[in-house]
Amino acid sequence: MYVCLCNRVTDRQVRAQAAGGNCTLGSVHNSLGISPKCGKCLPMMRDLVREHQGHAGAASNV
Ligand code: FES
């Protein structure tokens, strides 16, 4: 599903970036070669990155 319509970015792309070590919105944007435009997607993108961090943290605590 598209999370950023301005830049045509999907949730899968954001999750892949987070899984690849991009743990901030800025690094995700840089890696995808995009920049925020309207900004409406930022809360959802932030949640996707944080969601991955939560999973990574849980895995490292095992
Ligand atoms: S929807 Fe992402 S910048 Fe507009």
Output the domain CATH number for residue 19: 1.10.10.1100
- What pLDDT was estimated at residue 58? 54
- What pLDDT was estimated at residue 6? 98
Average pLDDT score over residue span 8-13: 98
Q: How many distinct structural domains can be found in the chain?
A: 1
From the number of C-beta atoms within 10 Å of its C-beta (0-12, 13-18, 19+), residue 3 rates as buried
Write out the residue range of the structural domain in which residue 56 sits: 2-60
Confidence (pTM): 0.85
**What tens digit of pLDDT does each residue of 15-27 get?**
999 999 999 999 9
Q: Relative to the CA of 39, which ligand 1 atom is closest?
A: 3
Protein residue whose Cα sits closest to atom 2 of ligand 1: 4
**What tens digit of pLDDT does each residue of 18-60 get?**
999 999 999 999 999 999 999 999 999 999 999 988 776 555 4
Any ligand 1 atom below 6 A from CB of 41? yes
**Residue 55 near residue 47 (C-beta atoms within 8 A):** no
